[in-house]
Chains A and B, each alone.
Chain A
Amino acid sequence: MASRQFATFEVAGQLFGVEVHTVQEVLSYNEYTPVPLAPPAVGGLFNLRGQVIAAVDLRVQLGMARKALQGPVMNVILRGDGEPVSLLVDKIGEVVDLDDERFEPPPDTLSGPTRELVVGTFKLDGRLMLALDVNQAVDTYRATT
């Protein structure tokens, strides 16, 4: 039975996951530099050991209102295509090993921006985890075009 490892995190009470190999690291960061005129999903820029990283607000990507960036916010830093990109999330969960048999396509009732970001649903004990399409999740022009 094929199984995959997922790094999980929460946004607005919902559990999401991305495959572990797409994640570079997870860290919390305080200060973000806003980028005026950037797409609304861009939370800001921050300095990761001398590298300038763009943080994408997953809330906005999911069609929710943006939360003010005050105090530390958790970043899931994805390797991305050549340049790392960070996803701003509410809370980091654990890394889980999941069999493919727990997988189902997204439910038909799921609609809106979330539907486009989600590739499927994993049935965990007691709760559901939505597996994110990493490329879609960091595409900040998706919502505006």
Chain B
Amino acid sequence: MEDLGEIVGEFLLESHENLDQIDRDLVSLEQEPDSRDLISRIFRAIHTIKGTSGFLAFSRLEKLAHGGESLLSRLRDGVQPVTPATITVLLAMIDGVRSILSSIEENGSENDVDIDSILAQVHAQMNAGEAAAEAAAPAAAPAEDAAPAGETPVPLDEVPAAARPAPEPVEEQRKPIGEILVETGGAAPQDVGSALAQQLEGDERKLGTILLEEGKAKPAAVNEALSQQAPKRSIADSAIRVDVDLLDTLLNMVGELVLARNQLVRGVMETGDATLVRSAQRLGMITSELQEGIMKTRMQPIEHIWSKLPRVIRDLSNSLGKKVELVMQGKETELDRSLLEAVKDPLTHLVRNAVDHGIEEPERRIASGKDPEGTLTLRAYHEGGHVAVEVADDGAGLNVDRIAQKAVENGLLRADQIPNMDKRDIMAMVFQPGFSTAAKVTNVSGRGVGMDVVKTNIENIGGAVSVDSTPGEGTVWRLTIPLTLAIIQALTVDCGEQRYVVPQVAVLELVFIDGNSTKIEYASGAPVYRLRGKLLPLVRLDRALGLEVGGDQGVYIMVLQADGRRFGLIVDRVLNTEEVVVKALNSRFKDIGLYAGATILGDGKVGLILDVSSLARRSHLAADADRKSLEGSSRANAVSGTGERLLVTAVGDRRVAIPLDTVTRLEEFPRDRIEHAGSREVVQYRGQILPLVRLSHLLGAYGEEPEGDTVSVVVYSEAGRSVALVVDRIVDIAENSTTARRDAEEDGLVGTAVIQQRVTELLDVRRAILAADPNFYTDLENDEMLVEA
């Protein structure tokens, strides 16, 4: 049984490949119903499946394939014509074969798959063709024993070099070129005969050459005959199947090798021994080449996932009554196998969406002066270390006004933001969760799920999604995908005491800040840098990581790009670029969202890889702050300036915001660590006694005490003293908005504002601190009067 299992496995694998090819061929056949070559190819593939299933005693599968074969043989013999209805039945038959195969794969039996209804359809098709057939060719009976492949002449123009010939039951021999030329009509039999005679007489020229030089055959015909001759041999003989697990193991090992090389090279450089350095460099080169080679083994042309799309488009456009022509460009572009898997679903979604919403109905297209048949173009190409995959339609295009309106309705944007926004930024709103502008919900799309999933999936593999559209001319969805997941070029940077890794694809340039000729400026609290005259919003890595915030001098700005946004990341030091192997980060850290993974650095320590798009989202806030600060500058500064970032907390059922600048740390303390000193609550913290003040008491928000064993506190430190403000929950970090702000009416607050569409109270930090520690400022008052409050 062991052997049989292996044979069945092989059969399943091979059949799945054949079925995909048949799908493609059937759809092409619909376009060119007269192509005998396509029919023969489909026929042969089905015949192979039939033969093997008979041998393996899968009788239902054999019966189904036999039915399909009968119908196909009628098409092949011209007994009945190829119609869309025939194609539909044949596709249904292929689906039946698929479901039997997966049933065999899952439980080893084919019994629970219904084939009768499909067979009935097949017979109905054959009977439908019968009437016409009887008049035309009464003698032609369905030939059930398949003609061997060799008997079917193959027109040369139908053999694309990349196409995989279906495995054929007959042994593949290299056909003499003369025979091919005679079959295809490229040369007359007597000319070939005389050329062969010449060769026998000692003419050492090749047959094709003789025919060409004597003008007996056209160069094009000879070339085609040669190209037909070549691939038939090479594909069968030069490819082997390799288990993907084995490749993965090899890739992992190469990953380790890259690490070991990095360590070695570093060590050798320190010794300065010239011979050793040379050897190390040589080792480095070999490792790189080896790595590249292993990578290549995992690469597959994107055609693998595109091949399913013609079928998807055909079924969908038929059901919607649309006409869609599919154009594929760059299908040989290669991607890492695991990435292909990850791209498959998002791509299918984009294609379905383009057919459903992008391309209009034929009548509407005619009305707007377009070809009633829409065109969907899939394009793949390399671009700067990435692969770009585009799904372009020539439909009506995205309605920017409608998207803007919808975004305002959904609370994603404010109406006053729209006029200042870039058209593409508005269009990018379609990637927000729950966003759909479809007027009606179809079973294909318009449910508002999907585009955000596309975005998430692509971002998960380190890629990006964008959309561009011209009204009336169409829409282009663009996926940018890294070549591989496992090894990336990265910059190592220092921040605080630690080393972090930034993927190099996101880095545009580096700027050193000396504090004189280059310096960081503040637009009311938001750090910016003038990069060639334009303001670049900055994100402090130490602040983003919740570490102690360092100075503004002697630091580096990494100009990064992610999600179509540009921002600067402030780090202490930029060390070097190296290739790092991305290791998945323990699942418990996924929620933090700032890390894309981890890696082993050259010194053997673990380094965290920063998630640049997540950092970009923080930068987005800062970019908005620039705009808002302009609006807000005319207003009286009731609080310590506008546009600063706020920590939004929940206290009872109220939202209380604390300027982030005044926050030193966020902590969680176990409830039982809270002790009492007099009437005050205190907690031991880093060798200090930290006084606590409950904002719920201070603000009179007596709600229910939140459940749980810990309390969330916001620690504020100044001049070595700290106090902690107890809140129920940390909600978010938000940008201060200047709209709808009112001044305070209540003790302990400086005002209220609308932040993230919710009324939020702004805490009077100074008063809260004094409530916790009445002496907090007494030591400071003399030299520093202005404390943020």
Interface residues of A (CB under 8 A from B): 31, 33-40, 42, 44-47, 50-54, 63, 65, 83, 85, 111-113, 140-141, 143-145
Q: What B residues does A38 contact at CB under 8 A? A: 588-589, 592
Stretch at the interface among B55-63, B156-164, B445-453, B597-605: B597-605
A interface footprint on B581-610 (CB within 8 Å = 1, 0 otherwise): 001111111001011001110001111100
Inter-subunit contact A37/B607 (CB<8 Å): no
- Interchain CB contact under 8 A, B583 and A33: no
| Chain A residue with the shortest CB-CB distance to B259 | A50
Tally chain B residues at the interface, Cβ within 8 Å.
Answer: 34
Contact status B606-A63, CB under 8 Å:
no
Contact A112 B598 (CB under 8 A): no
Assess whether B605 is in contact with A35, with CB atoms less than 8 Å apart.
no
Taking the complex as formed, is B417 at the interface, i.e. its CB lies under 8 A from any CB of chain A? no
Closest B residue to A54 by beta carbon equals B586
Q: How far is the CB of A101 from chain B (nearest CB, A)?
A: 33
Interchain nearest-CB distance for B193 vs A (Å): 68
A141 contacts B670, C-beta separation under 8 Å: no
Looking at the assembled complex, report how far the CB atom of B607 sits from the nearest CB atom of chain A, in whole angstroms: 7
A63-B673, A144-B710 as given contacts; A52 in contact with B583, CB under 8 Å: yes
Contact B256 A50 (CB under 8 A): yes
5 contacts between A and B (CB under 8 A): A36-B594, A46-B605, A47-B600, A54-B586, A63-B670
Given the interface pairs A47-B600, A50-B600, A113-B670, the reply to whether A33 lies near B606 with Cβ below 8 Å is: yes
Kindly list chain B residues whose C-beta atoms are within 8 Å of the C-beta of A34.
498
Further pairs besides A33-B498, A33-B598, A140-B588: 15, Cβ < 8 Å: A37-B592, A39-B588, A40-B667, A47-B606, A50-B259, A50-B600, A51-B583, A52-B584, A52-B585, A63-B670, A63-B673, A143-B668, A143-B710, A144-B710, A145-B708
Given the known interface contacts A52-B586, A141-B588, the answer about A31 and B672 at a Cβ–Cβ threshold of 8 Å is: no
Contact with A along B476-500 (1 / 0, CB 8 A): 0000000000000000000000100
Contacts of B255 in A (CB 8 A): 50
Number of A-B contacts (CB under 8 A): 79
B700 interfacial by beta-carbon distance below 8 Å? no
- Assess A35 versus B546: contact at CB under 8 Å? Given A42-B588, A52-B585: no
Residues of chain B in range 250-266 having any CB-CB distance to chain A below 8 Å: 255-256, 259
Cα A100 to Cα B709 in complex, Å, equals 32
Bound Cα distance from A72 to B684, whole angstroms: 26
Task: Return B264 CB to nearest CB of chain A, in Å.
Answer: 15
Q: Pick from A42, A47, A50, A65: contact of B605, CB below 8 A.
A: A47
Residues of chain B within 8 A of A47, CB atoms compared = 600, 604-606
Pick from B587, B592, B710: contact of A35, CB below 8 A.
Answer: B592
Chain A nearest Cβ from B606, distance in angstroms: 4
Instruction: State whether A45 touches B498 (Cβ < 8 A).
Output: no
Q: Is B545 an interface residue (CB 8 A)?
A: yes
Kindly report which residue of chain A lies nearest to residue B684, judged by CB atoms: A65
Please, how many angstroms separate the alpha-carbon atoms of A140 and B587 in the complex?
Answer: 11
Q: Is the CB of B684 within 8 A of A46?
A: no
B residues in contact with A37, CB < 8 Å = 545-546, 592, 594
In the bound complex, CA of A47 to CA of B599 (Å)? 9
Closest beta carbon of chain A to B434's beta carbon, Å? 26
- A53, closest chain B residue (CB): B586
Q: What residues of A have a CB within 8 angstroms of the CB of B510 in the complex?
A: none
Say yes or no for B547: interface residue by CB 8 A criterion: yes
Cross-chain contact B709 with A54 (CB below 8 angstroms): no
The 7 closest A-B pairs by CB, nearest first: A36-B545, A45-B606, A33-B606, A54-B586, A52-B598, A52-B583, A63-B670
A113 partner residues in chain B, CB cutoff 8 A: 670, 709
CA distance A45 to B588 in the complex (A): 12
In the bound complex, how far is the Cα of B587 from the Cα of A85, in angstroms?
Answer: 11
**Chain A residues with Cβ under 8 A from B547's Cβ?**
36
- Asked if B594 and A52 sit within 8 Å, CB to CB, the answer is no
For B586, the chain A residues whose CB sits under 8 A away are: 45, 52-54, 83, 85
Residues of B close to A54: CB separation below 8 A: 586, 588-589
Please state if A46 and B588 are interface contacts (CB–CB under 8 Å).
no
A52 touching B600 by the CB < 8 A rule? yes
Contacts A37-B546, A65-B684 given: A143-B589 contact, CB under 8 Å? no
| A33-B589 in contact (CB<8A) | no
CA A44 to CA B605, docked complex, whole Å: 11
A141 to B589, CA, bound (A): 10
In the bound assembly, the distance between CA atoms of A65 and B667 in angstroms comes to 12
CA distance in complex: A51, B12 (Å): 36
- Residues in A with CB closer than 8 Å to B583 are 51-52
Q: In the bound complex, what is the Cα–Cα distance between A45 and B600 (angstroms)?
A: 10
Of B586, B595, B710, the most chain A CB neighbours within 10 A belong to B586
The answer to whether A45 and B598 touch across the interface, beta carbons within 8 angstroms, is yes
Most chain B beta-carbon neighbours within 10 Å: one of A45, A53, A141: A45
Chain A residue with Cβ nearest B607: A33
User: Complex Cα distance A54/B595, Å?
Assistant: 14
Residues of chain A within 8 A (CB-CB) of B259 are 50
Which A residues lie within 8 Å of B672 (CB)? 63, 111-112
Residues of B contacting A145 in the complex (Cβ-Cβ under 8 angstroms):
708
Chain B residues positioned under 8 Å from A35 (CB to CB):
589, 592, 595, 608
Instruction: Tell me if B709 and A143 are in contact (CB < 8 A).
Output: yes
Tell me, rounded to whole Å, the shortest Cβ–Cβ distance linking A37 to chain B.
Answer: 5
Compute how far the CA of A84 lies from the CA of B349 in the bound complex, rounded to whole angstroms.
36
A83's nearest neighbour on chain B, judged by CB, is: B586
Query: B289 to chain A: closest CB distance in Å?
Result: 22
Query: Do A112 and B592 contact each other (CB < 8 Å), given the known contacts A50-B256, A52-B585, A52-B600?
Result: no
Of listed A46, A53, A63, residue having the most chain B CB within 10 A: A63
Cβ contacts under 8 Å, A112 to chain B: 670, 672
Q: Which residues of B contact A85 (CB under 8 A)?
A: 586
Q: Known: A36-B545, A40-B668, A65-B684. Is A46-B708 also a contact (CB below 8 A)?
A: no
**Which residue of B is nearest A45, CB measured?**
B606
Nearest residue, chain A, Cβ from B712: A144
Give the CA-CA distance A35 to B545 in the complex, in Å.
9
B13 to chain A, nearest CB (A): 28
Q: How far is the CB of A64 from chain B (nearest CB, A)?
A: 9
- Across the interface, which residues of A come within 8 angstroms of B710, CB to CB? 143-144
Q: What's the Cα separation between A40 and B713 when bound, in Å?
A: 13
Give the one of A33, A36, A37, A140 with max B CB within 10 A. Answer: A36
Q: Residue of B at shortest CB range from A31?
A: B605
Specify the chain A residue showing the minimal Cβ separation from B542: A36
Contacts of A36 in B (CB 8 A): 498, 545-547, 594
Task: Point out the residues of chain A lying under 8 angstroms from B585, CB to CB.
Answer: 52
Q: Which residues of A contact B605 (CB under 8 A)?
A: 31, 33, 46-47
Q: Which residue of A lies closest to B598 (CB)?
A: A52
A6 to chain B, nearest CB (A): 25
The smallest beta-carbon distance between A88 and chain B, in angstroms, is 15
In the bound complex, what is the Cα–Cα distance between A113 and B604 (angstroms)?
A: 35
A83-B608 in contact (CB<8A): no
Q: Which of B256, B546, B594, B605 has the most chain A CB within a 10 Å cutoff?
A: B605
